[in-house]
Amino acid sequence: MKKDQIIHHFIFQTKFGYSAIFYKKSPFLLTRIVLPKTNNKNKQQNYKPHQKAIIISKLIIDYFNGTPVHMLSPSWEWLDAGGLTELQKSVYSATAKIPYGKLSSYKEIAEVINRPNAYRFVGTTLARNPFPILIPCHRVIRSNNTIGLFAGGKILKIKMIELERNTVKQFGIVQQE
């Protein structure tokens, strides 16, 4: 295997539990984010992660601490989107534009990508989102205002929506539509 194809990982603790990111080093490409899970096992690493991995982990830690991070997504050049179709990329791009503290529906995302009947495709694509938090799929709900599914589980999705709602209230953030 080529050295630049090796996948590295970095495990870090957030207020919601341990999270991890997976990445390639040269050039740096984020391949996956693992949402926080509660686990009491000691998670120590014996190596220093890539500087950009540290930056991303700090953004995620800040997010779960309730820091109003408006432009959370790092540069798209940092995301390994090589295995994604153009239509999947359009879903992720539209989802990334949902403002902090706001919600959108699967149907609304389908309309944004000019595929108004593709709301199930949107749901399937978001269920496979390799970059949760950076691409805020937790902000997408069903048209009937029910939560819908989430890779991290419904409870985590509800907590993330509530965290954003409370942060917006606490800091008086005014969102542009």
Q: Which whole-number Å values give the CA distances from 16 to 5, 11, 23, 30, in the listed order?
A: 30, 13, 22, 21
Active-site residue (options: 21, 56, 91, 137): 137
16 part of the active site: no
Edge-first strand order for the sheet with 29-37 is: 8-14, 17-24, 29-37
b/e per residue 14-42 (b: at least 16 CB within 10 A): bebebbbbbbbbeebbbbebbbbeeeeee
CA dist., res. 41 & res. 55, Å (int): 24
CA dist., res. 130 & res. 118, Å (int): 20
Question: Would you name the residues annotated as active-site residues?
Answer: 137
